[in-house]
Chain A
Amino acid sequence: KNQVEQSPQSLIILEGKNCTLQCNYTVSPFSNLRWYKQDTGRGPVSLTIMTFSENTKSNGRYTATLDADTKQSSLHITASQLSDSASYICVVGDYGQNFVFGPGTRLSVLP
C-alpha cells in the first residue's frame, strides 16, 4: 500500500534553534518527493522538490535530503524563526500526477 509517514507528529522549539523533520515512504513507482509548508488557515506551499537522482536540495534556511534506497527524506530548518510555525507535509508523487500525502508535522517556534 502506498503510504507516507512523518515524525514527529508535533515539535516545539525555541526561536533560533535548528530542527529536523522526518519522512518515510513506501510509494511506488517513485517520481519525486516534495516538502510543503502549510500555515494555519492556508493551503500548502511548496518548499523543495527532489527527484530520484537528487539527494539534497536547499531553499534558504530549509534543506531537504533524500535517500531513495531507504525511502527516507528529512527537512532541516536552520536558525528557526517565529514565522516557521506551521505544518510541514511530505508528499510523494508518481509519474502520473498522483500524489500521496503524509499526515504532516506541526512545528511551533516559541520566542
Chain B
Amino acid sequence: EAGVAQSPRYKIIEKRQSVAFWCNPISGHATLYWYQQILGQGPKLLIQFQNNGVVDDSQLPKDRFSAERLKGVDSTLKIQPAKLEDSAVYLCASIIAGGDEQYFGPGTRLTVT
C-alpha cells in the first residue's frame, strides 16, 4: 500500500512570494489533514477535509493561506504572500473513514527568507 505522498520536499522562497504544496493521501482515505510544524514544536492543525468538504479550518490564517480538495482525493495548500514566520514543515496526513490512525506524509520543509 502506497503511503501519503507530498511534494515538493523542500522549498525556499523570499517573503511576499507565493508557494503551493501538494498532497496525495492513501487511496480510499476520506479524511485529509494539513498541519504546520514549526521547529521544535508539535504539529498544529491548519485544515481538515472530509472528502471534498472542509470540517475544520478554524486555525487557518485565511488572509494568506488557502487549501482545496476539489475531487476528494489529492489536495493543495497555498500561501500567498509568504511571511518569515511561515518557515516550517507542512505535513499532510490521511485517515480512513471511522479509523483512528493518521498516516503522515514526509512533509514539505518551507524556508522563507
Give me the interface of A with B, judged by CB distance under 8 Å: 4, 31-32, 34, 41-46, 49, 89, 93, 97-99, 101-104, 106
Contacts and interface: CB of A to CB of B under 8 A. Distances in A.
Interface of B: 4, 31, 35, 40-45, 48, 56, 91, 93, 95, 99-102, 104-107, 109
- Best-surrounded residue of A31, A93, A97, A106 (most CB of chain B within 10 A): A97
B18 to A, nearest CB: 24
A89 B104 contact: no
Nearest to A103: B42
Given A43-B4, A101-B43, A34 B101 contact: yes
Contacts of A102: 42
A49 B101 CA distance: 9
Nearest to A42: B106
A30 B99 CA distance: 15
B42 A43 contact: no
A43 B100 contact: no
Nearest to A31: B100
B104 A44 contact: yes
Nearest to B107: A43
B43 A44 contact: yes
Contact of A41 (B42, B45, B109): B109
A93 B109 contact: no
A98 B105 CA distance: 18
Contact of A32 (B93, B100, B104): B100
B109 A45 contact: no
A58 to B, nearest CB: 17
Contact of A104 (B31, B35, B41, B106): B41
23 contacts: A34-B100, A34-B101, A41-B107, A42-B106, A42-B107, A43-B4, A44-B91, A45-B104, A46-B101, A49-B100, A89-B42, A93-B100, A97-B48, A97-B95, A97-B100, A98-B56, A99-B45, A99-B102, A101-B43, A103-B40, A103-B41, A103-B42, A104-B40
